[in-house]
Structure formats: structure tokens, C-alpha cells
């Protein structure tokens, strides 16, 4: 058994080496296509993160001071209920807003550790009767006693969604074309490999080597090309995530942004990036497997 596994691996890498120009071309296209897929997934995940709590209906959020008194909170609550600018509100108490904080900053534990349940501001999330009222609400409430700040990210999210969804479509479209290119290149590579070993293959068939014995090294070759490309692509996607994360952190330090959580939420967490990496690696193996399987079916039949 080990004798045969040895043979398969030796054959596979020997083929790869003999076919190195084609193999490199195939691996490069796999890298490009899967990096695009990965980047698109990263953006998609970022937007999903940003919108997960700040969903479409939410117009503004009133952040209370963490130490605001009950009467201050009740006063604001009553005003909000009576206001014609506002349709409805939900209130996040200390526990709920701390949970939200943990979720939004799950990739920055330093931020989370700076807060406790009692030092986390409570939040009113309000739906506006008209989206254009946001500024008016801001002016009316931001200087009331007990209010820390008023944030109105709704419209920005919408614009961001629009831009990123176009971006995503473009990226996925390009990725799809590149995936097709990788499939074709892997197919061609394996066809070349089969062609350059046609004499050996003919002898193998003649002396009764099984179909799988003949096919496996070629299929493995395609899968390994896909895998190498995919691993490099996932590393690139990881790097991209870190660059995005650093960028966001730097802008946050520079500007006195009113909505820090929104920006940083657009960066996928490293946990999510790992999942994206796994998806890419599986896709790489699948693309390699399909490309080589088709070639093997087409050029190696009994």
C-alpha cells in the first residue's frame, strides 16, 4: 500500500515538474480567481456585519451617558414617544448594549475590555417617520441632559450597501470568469501531462493496470495545482483583511468619528476570514479536481 502511495505521489510531482510552465499558469489563475472570490466574500461579510444591528429601519441612535440617571432616561423616552419626527423606538439597557458592543468589537478585545456592563452607554434605536429628519433629531436631542451623542448611520449604510453591492457584482463576475479560466488551464495542463505520458499510459492499459491506478496521479496533479493556488489566495485574503483592519483603526484614531462601531464593523473578523480561507481552499481543490477529471475522462478512457 505504502509502495503504491509512494508511487502516486512521486508520479504526481514528477508530472507537475515536467509540466511546470503549464502548472504555473494554472496555479496563477487559480490564485487570481480565488483571491477575487475571497475579496468579494470579505466585503460581503463586512457589509453584513455593519448592517446586522443597524438594520434598514433604524434611523438614529441616541447614546445615553453610561451614568445617566433613571429620570434622565425616562424623560428622553417620553419625549421620543411624543415626537412627530419619530415613528418608534427600542431601548437597549446596559446588558443589551454591552452585548452589542461585544459583538461589534469581537475582533478588538482591547476595546471590549475597556467597558463593563455598567459603564456601557444605553441606547435608544429609533425609526424615523421620514429619513430626512435625522439632522433635526440630532440637533434637538444631542444637548439634552443625560444624552452622550446622537448617531444617524442609516443613510450612509444605504450608500455603502449600494456601492459595495455593485462592487461585489463586478468582483464576483470577474472571479467567475477567472474561475472558468482556471478550469480551462487545469484541463489543458492535465491534457499535456497525459499527452507527454501517452506511451506509459498505453503500456499500463496493455498490461492491465486498473483505470483508477492510471487516473489518480493525473487527478491528484490537478487538485494539487488548485490547492496550491487556493492556499496562496487565502493568505492574500488574510493579508487584505489585516490591511483593511489597520486602515480602519488608523482613521478612527485620527478623526473624532461619531460612529466608530460602523466603520470597524465593516472589517470581517479573523474568525470569518478563516472560514473564507477554508471555503477558498475547498474551492481550489474542487476546481482542480473538476478540471483534471474532465481531462482524464476525455483523454484516458479505455
- Binding window for another protein (CB under 8 A); candidates: 45-53, 110-118, 206-214, 270-278: 206-214
Three-state secondary-structure class, residue 68? coil
Exactly one of 3, 5, 21, 143 binds another protein (CB under 8 A); that residue is 3
Within 41-60, which residues bind another protein (CB under 8 A)? none
- Judged by beta carbon, residue 209 or residue 279, the one nearer another protein is 209
Encode burial over 260-295: b for 16+ CB neighbours within 10 A, e otherwise: bbbbbbbbbbeebbeebbebbbebbbebbbbbbbbb
Answer for the pair 54, 117: CB distance below 8 angstroms, yes or no: no
Using the rule CB under 8 A, is 203 a contact of another protein?
yes
143 contacts another protein (rule: CB under 8 A): no
Contact between residue 4 and residue 205 where contact means Cβ atoms under 8 Å apart: no
Site membership for another protein, residue 8 (CB under 8 A): no
> Cell numbers 477529471 label which residue?
293
Number of H helices, E strands in the chain: 11, 4
CA distance 43 to 35: 12
Q: Does 17 participate in binding another protein (rule CB under 8 A)? A: no
What is the bridge-based pairing of β-strands 86-92 and 60-64? unpaired
Print the binding letters for residues 182-201 with another protein: x by CB under 8 A, - otherwise.
-----------------xx-
Nearest distance from residue 26's CB to another protein, in Å?
A: 25
For residue 86, what are the β-bridge partners? 128
Sole binder of another protein in the list 5, 84, 143, 206 (CB under 8 A): 206
Q: For the window 207-246, what string marks contact with another protein as x by the rule CB under 8 A?
A: xxxxx-xx--------------------------------
What residue ranges bind another protein (CB under 8 A)? 3-4, 7, 199-200, 202-211, 213-214, 302
Amino acid at each position: 500500500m505504502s509502495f503504491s502511495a509512494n508511487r502516486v505521489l512521486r508520479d504526481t510531482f514528477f508530472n507537475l515538474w515536467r509540466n511546470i510552465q503549464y502548472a504555473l499558469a494554472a496555479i496563477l489563475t487559480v490564485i487570481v480567481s480565488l483571491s477575487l472570490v475571497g475579496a468579494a466574500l470579505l466585503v460581503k461579510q463586512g457589509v453584513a456585519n455593519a448592517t446586522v444591528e443597524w438594520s434598514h429601519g433604524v434611523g438614529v441612535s441616541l447614546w445615553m451617558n453610561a451614568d445617566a440617571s433613571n429620570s434622565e432616561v425616562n424623560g428622553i423616552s417620553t419625549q421620543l414617544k411624543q415626537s412627530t419626527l419619530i415613528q418608534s423606538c427600542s431601548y437597549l439597557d446596559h446588558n443589551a448594549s454591552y452585548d452589542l458592543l461585544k459583538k461589534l468589537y469581537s475582533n478588538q478585545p482591547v476595546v471590549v475590555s475597556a467597558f463593563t456592563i455598567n459603564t456601557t452607554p444605553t441606547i435608544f434605536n429609533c425609526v424615523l417617520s421620514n429619513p430626512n429628519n435625522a439632522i433635526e433629531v440630532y440637533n434637538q436631542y444631542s444637548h439634552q441632559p443625560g444624552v452622550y451623542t446622537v448617531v444617524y448611520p442609516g443613510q450612509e449604510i444605504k450608500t455603502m450597501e449600494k456601492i459595495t453591492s455593485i462592487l461585489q457584482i463586478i468582483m464576483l463576475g470577474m472571479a467567475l470568469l477567472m474561475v472558468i479560466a482556471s478550469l480551462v488551464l487545469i484541463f489543458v495542463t492535465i491534457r499535456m501531462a497525459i499527452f507527454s505520458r501517452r506511451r506509459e499510459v498505453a503500456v499500463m492499459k496493455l498490461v492491465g493496470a486498473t483505470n483508477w491506478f492510471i487516473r489518480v496521479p493525473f487527478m491528484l496533479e490537478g487538485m494539487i495545482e488548485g490547492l496550491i493556488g487556493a492556499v496562496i489566495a487565502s493568505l492574500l485574503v488574510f493579508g487584505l483583511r489585516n490591511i483593511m483592519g489597520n486602515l480602519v483603526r488608523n482613521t478612527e484614531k485620527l478623526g473624532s468619528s461619531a460612529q466608530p462601531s460602523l466603520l470597524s464593523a465593516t472589517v470581517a473578523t479573523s474568525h470569518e476570514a478563516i472560514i473564507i480561507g477554508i471555503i477558498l481552499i475547498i474551492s481550489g481543490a474542487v476546481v482542480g479536481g473538476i478540471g483534471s477529471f474532465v481531462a482524464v475522462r476525455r483523454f484516458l478512457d479505455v
